[in-house]
């Protein structure tokens, strides 16, 4: 009997991302993201109804600008008054938590997929998800990239264009590629 790829993905185990069940889930999310992007701006608060139903959770006071992209959406949790500016990408093979009052600039990308190091395994689509946690009152500048497994503490600031490879302590500021404390 083959293990359920969705259960493996959610549990953080290695799984095959090419599985037809996962592709069907991604298709549902692409439809929801497309519907969100096509809605008039005043009907996208906090997001379109299909996307809201796909998300793990989103506060009624949060806002996702279009365009927006997510892999699955059901692993994404967005807190009170959080703001995702235009062009944000969340590849949520693992849980992504965005805290209350956090602001993500345009083009911020959050990755949770950790691809296998062995090229033969990688060719077969073997990966695992490592959760990303963004605390409350965080400001992430435009074009920043948050890598798998990173936690960003409450009140932290990530400079525009940064590549965050390590945890960011609360109330600290980081910038650069890779991001370093300022």
First to last CA, the chain: 51
Q: What is the set of domains in the chain, with CATH numbers?
A: 5-181 (2.160.10.10)
Average pLDDT of the segment spanning 80-106: 98
Residues annotated as part of the active site: 115
Q: What integer pLDDT is reported at residue 1 of this predicted model?
A: 43
Q: Residue 7, Cβ neighbours under 10 Å: how many?
A: 10
pLDDT tens digits for 121-171?
999 999 999 999 999 999 999 999 999 999 999 999 999 999 999 999 999
User: Is 142 within 8 Å of 85 (Cβ atoms)?
Assistant: yes
Confidence of residue 43 (pLDDT cuts 50, 70, 90): confident
Q: What is this structure's pTM?
A: 0.96
- Residue showing tokens 């997510």: 70
Portion of the chain with pLDDT greater than 70, in percent: 99
Strand order in the sheet with 68-70: 68-70, 88-91, 109-111, 145-146, 163-164
Residues 72 and 53: their CA atoms lie apart, in Å, by 11
Count of residues making up the chain? 182
């Amino acid at each position: 009997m083959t293990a359920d790829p969705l259960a493996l993905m959610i549990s953080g185990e290695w799984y095959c991302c090419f599985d037809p069940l996962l592709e069907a889930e991604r298709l549902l999310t692409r439809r929801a993201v497309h519907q969100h992007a096509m809605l008039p701006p005043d009907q996208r608060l906090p997001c379109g109804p299909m996307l809201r139903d796909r998300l793990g959770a989103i506060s009624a006071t949060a806002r996702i600008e279009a365009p927006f992209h997510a892999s699955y959406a059901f692993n994404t949790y967005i807190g009170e008054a959080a703001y995702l500016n235009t062009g944000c990408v969340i590849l949520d093979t693992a849980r992504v938590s965005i805290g209350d009052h956090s602001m993500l600039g345009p083009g911020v990308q959050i990755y949770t997929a950790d691809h296998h190091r062995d090229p033969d395994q990688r060719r077969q689509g073997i990966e695992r998800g490592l959760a990303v946690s963004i605390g409350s009152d965080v400001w992430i500048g435009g074009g920043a990239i948050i890598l798998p497994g990173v936690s960003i503490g409450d009140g932290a600031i990530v400079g525009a264009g940064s590549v965050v490879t390590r945890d960011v302590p609360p109330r600290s500021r980081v910038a650069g590629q890779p991001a370093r404390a300022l």
